[in-house]
Amino acid sequence: MQNALSYDVKFVGGVGEARARLLTRELDIRTVGDLLYHIPYRYIDRRRIYSIGEVDESLESTLIQIRGRITGISYSGTGRKQRFMASVSDTSGSTELLWFQGIKWIEKRVEVGREYIIFGRPSFYRGTFNMIHPEIETVEQALSRKAESGFQGIYPSTEKLSHGIGTKAMSTIMTNAWQIAKDGIEETLPEAIRRRNALMPLREALYNIHFPQSPELLRQAQYRLKFDELLGVQLTIQSRRSARMARGDGFMMPRVGELFNGFYREKLPFPLTGAQQRVIKEIRSDMISGRQMNRLLQGDVGSGKTMVALMSMLLAVDNGYQACIMAPTEILARQHYAGMVRMTEGMPLNIGILTGSSRSRERREALEGAASGKIDILIGTHALIEDKVVFKQLGYVVIDEQHRFGVEQRARLWTKNERPPHVLVMTATPIPRTLAMTLYGDLDVSVIDELPPGRQPIRTYRYTDASRLKMFGFLREEIRKHRQVYIVYPLIKESEKMDYKDLHDGFESISRDFPLPEYRITVCHGKMKPEDKEAAMAQFKRGEADILIATSVIEVGVDVPNATVMVIESAERFGLSQLHQLRGRVGRGDGQSYCILMSGDKLSREARSRLDAMCQTNDGFQLAELDLKLRGAGDVHGTQQSGEAFDLRIANLAADTQIMQLTRDEAVALLAKDRTLSLPENSGLRRLKERYASHEKMDFSQIS
Ligand code: ADP
Ligand code: MG
């Protein structure tokens, strides 16, 4: 017998051909099973009936029920402006119901003198309220309808769908779907897991998620379904990981050779921090494990990730392999190139560079050198991904500031070899634990949790335009101490012109406010030619400019230790992790550094929390957690593409950390015993895994 869950949704009572098409088009619901996993995002207590007199502005736009008698009806306007009004009263007061559409339909159903249950959202105007397009039914109808539950689920909908299927219709459809589905629901979890985690059976959970029998049962149902969802995700991720571990096709790099040792003895400009040493050891143990390394290196801005990258690349070269490092911007790639060439001067090491704006000679040298094996380390931007770039023996890939790259871009570096190289993905944007477990669950994680010695915490202040002169005064003082200053303007894709204008207006006002010839100002923005950008950066870096006015092109990686002040204009237009990244441009030397957030007076609550958080902490991890809370997982920097990857319906990556941890542990244990989930008792789990593997929009095994 065909399982009831796979029946076409059109056979559910109340659906039919037209609504089925609508459900499929708008919500991708095709079967009874799909419908069953369409989960309410909110519930209202249908037993609760408000008296008209108690409805106040705190209930603006929330769905409520009132019960009252229609005392009169009226029409106004004509044609498309026509509307239909009904007055309704109970013992405590009266209100108006309004319809702008479907008047022919509703006027037949509203009878003066009759009592109705009215269900809708009050909107207030000058202290009184009305209800626009409420759903209504007679008290007799309401009583005769045998509700499954006193709580009515409110389902996610779309503009188009809500016209075709209202709240009430959706409830009816769900009730009918349940009748078809209830005996076809198969448990997904083995008894032991259910018991260990005190989870209610799946059937009960699905029933209570649609028709809660009590608030407590609803809570348990939600917990159970979140658990299923996250377990499905973890099974997908962890089975990839164990497959990678089992493959054993990682390049062996056992030698610690002349390059690494020579560099360590003679070139290292400072002692490594304990954290840097530890991470290098972790990378090295991966290199001799026989397994391909997939490692995420998290370290706050300024923690010295570049040195880890360089030294681990030297290890790869010591073993006869080539290495490459991909940076997100031209500026950053050039900076890495200059820095690494300088630090390894005199060593038998060939470093090349390739970016989108490499001129013919540089390009030719890079391409030929990579292909022939003459180049040991190739540094570059996205240009490294191009098909033309072929390596003789690429063994090690570093991706800097990974959040700036799309998943696909990263994946393409991977395919440059038949055997995958070891991959180190570096990020200064701390990824909250839950996200890391989901999005990068297949990666091993290293953390640099220690800043180089002598750094003083950056002091962050928030100023409005009224304090602009004070801010300029402060900049003067710092420049007098021979410190350098960044002033950054937002760059928003949609309105590059406007940003450009902001930046230029800013430049002019600063030139006006700093009329003294001894202030040297330089400008750097995305519209400039790469060589001009680079020249401006180089000038600033050499200390030949006191102020660098820039758009957020300088957000990542730029390293000028003498710069101690970061002024961020229109700071409210930046996201939290972007602000933190920008702030990380200062505080890189031993001078006290400052970050000044300029903003307008009128800020949204969210913008205000962001700026306040910046003033309160320098801890990137704390900021990342907060960012996740404020913006939701889908939107956290660098996870835009990845946040929705698993199409979670009920679990929330920000809130459900604990369930995530539990499911991860269960998944690891399950796969250790039954790697392919082929034991009979695990057949439900296999379905669970497939459900989320198919929802997954990208293949994360290819990230790195
Ligand atoms: P990030 O982790 O943000 O990429 P960088 O690698 O750019 O940080 O390093 C920031 C600054 O700290 C650089 O100027 C670098 O030379 C310096 N640095 C790195 N490691 C150390 C260390 N162990 N001791 C002192 N300074 C260091
Ligand atoms: Mg860096």
- Taking CA atoms only, the protein residue closest to ligand 1 atom 24 is 452
If asked whether residues 491 and 593 sit together in one domain, one would say yes
**Which ligand is closest in space to the CA of residue 557?**
2
- Taking CA atoms only, the protein residue closest to ligand 1 atom 25 is 452
If asked whether residues 483 and 422 sit together in one domain, one would say no
If asked whether residues 479 and 605 sit together in one domain, one would say yes
pLDDT higher for 538 or 379? 379
- Cα 281 from Cα 245, distance rounded (Å): 19
Long-range contacts of 669-675 (CB under 8 A, 24+ apart): 670/235, 671/235, 671/238, 671/239, 671/242, 672/242, 675/239, 675/242, 675/246
Per-residue b or e along 67-105, where b marks 16 or more CB atoms closer than 10 Å to that residue's CB: bbbbeeeeeeeeeeeeebebbbebeeeebebbbeeeeee
- pLDDT of 413: 61
pLDDT higher for 637 or 598? 598
The encoded tokens of residue 359 equal 């001129």
Residue 299 CB–ligand 1 contact under 6 Å: yes
Average pLDDT over residues 57-74: 91
Domain boundary among 379, 410, 427: 427
Instruction: Quote the number of domains for the chain.
Output: 3
Locate all alpha helices (DSSP H) within 447-553, ordered by sequence. 468-480, 496-513, 530-541
**Domain contains 693:** no
Residue 301 CB–ligand 1 contact under 6 Å: yes
- Check which CATH number belongs to the domain holding 67 and give it: 2.40.50.140
**Domain contains 309:** yes
If asked whether residues 422 and 466 sit together in one domain, one would say no
- Probe ligand 1: pick from 268, 296, 307, 310, max atoms within 8 Å of CB? 307
Q: What is the DSSP-derived secondary structure letter of residue 214?
A: S
**Domain contains 312:** yes
- Cα 38 from Cα 480, distance rounded (Å): 63
- Over the chain, what is the mean pLDDT? 86
Over the stretch 494-529, which tens digit does the pLDDT of each residue have?
455 566 666 777 777 777 766 555 788 888 887 788
CA of 296 to the centre of ligand 2 (A): 14
- Cα 697 from Cα 704, distance rounded (Å): 16
If asked whether residues 416 and 272 sit together in one domain, one would say yes
CA of 303 to the centre of ligand 2 (A): 8
Which amino acid, residue 112? V
- Probe ligand 1: pick from 301, 404, 447, 588, max atoms within 8 Å of CB? 588
If asked whether residues 416 and 554 sit together in one domain, one would say no
- pLDDT of 409: 53
Chain centroid to CA 608 = 20
Which amino acid, residue 134? P
Q: Is the C-alpha dihedral spanning 428, 430, 436, 439 positive or negative?
A: negative
**Separation of first and last alpha carbons in the chain:** 44
Q: Do 295 and 245 contact (CB within 8 A), yes or no?
A: no
pLDDT higher for 534 or 540? 540
**Domain contains 11:** no
Which residues partner with 547 through β-bridges?
Answer: 485, 521
If asked whether residues 501 and 406 sit together in one domain, one would say no
Chain centroid to CA 416 = 28
Domain boundary among 146, 173, 194: 146
**Domain contains 692:** no
Which amino acid, residue 221? A
- pLDDT of 703: 35
Which atom of ligand 1 is found nearest the CA of 306?
6
pLDDT higher for 308 or 414? 308
pTM of the model: 0.68
CA of 558 to the centre of ligand 2 (A): 7
Q: Examine the pLDDT at 628 and tell me if it is beyond 90.
A: no
Over the stretch 139-155, which tens digit does the pLDDT of each residue have?
888 777 667 888 888 89
Domain boundary among 590, 617, 644: 617
The percent of residues in the chain predicted with pLDDT above 90, rounded, is: 49
- pLDDT of 410: 54
**Which ligand is closest in space to the CA of residue 584?**
1
Residue 559 CB–ligand 1 contact under 6 Å: yes
Over the stretch 245-284, which tens digit does the pLDDT of each residue have?
788 788 999 999 999 999 999 999 999 999 999 999 999 9
- Cα 464 from Cα 53, distance rounded (Å): 44
If asked whether residues 383 and 513 sit together in one domain, one would say no
If asked whether residues 399 and 466 sit together in one domain, one would say no
CA angle 624, 582, 514 (to 5 degrees): 150
If asked whether residues 489 and 544 sit together in one domain, one would say yes
If asked whether residues 65 and 126 sit together in one domain, one would say yes
Q: Which candidate, 704, 703, 701, places its Cα nearest to that of 243?
A: 701
If asked whether residues 466 and 606 sit together in one domain, one would say yes
- Cα 392 from Cα 368, distance rounded (Å): 10
State how far the alpha carbon of 322 is from the alpha carbons of 370, 394, 601, in Å: 8, 5, 53
**Domain contains 485:** yes
- pLDDT of 578: 83
Over the stretch 96-148, which tens digit does the pLDDT of each residue have?
999 988 888 888 889 999 999 998 999 998 888 999 999 888 888 877 766 78
- Check which CATH number belongs to the domain holding 571 and give it: 3.40.50.300
167 pLDDT tier (thresholds 50, 70, 90): confident
- pLDDT of 696: 45
**Domain contains 704:** no
The percent of residues in the chain predicted with pLDDT above 70, rounded, is: 88
Residue 339 CB–ligand 1 contact under 6 Å: no
Residue 589 CB–ligand 1 contact under 6 Å: no
Domain span at residue 347 reads 258-287+304-427
Average pLDDT over residues 165-176: 89
**Domain contains 14:** no
- The helix (run of H) or strand (run of E) holding residue 394 is strand 394-399
The encoded tokens of residue 326 equal 């991909």
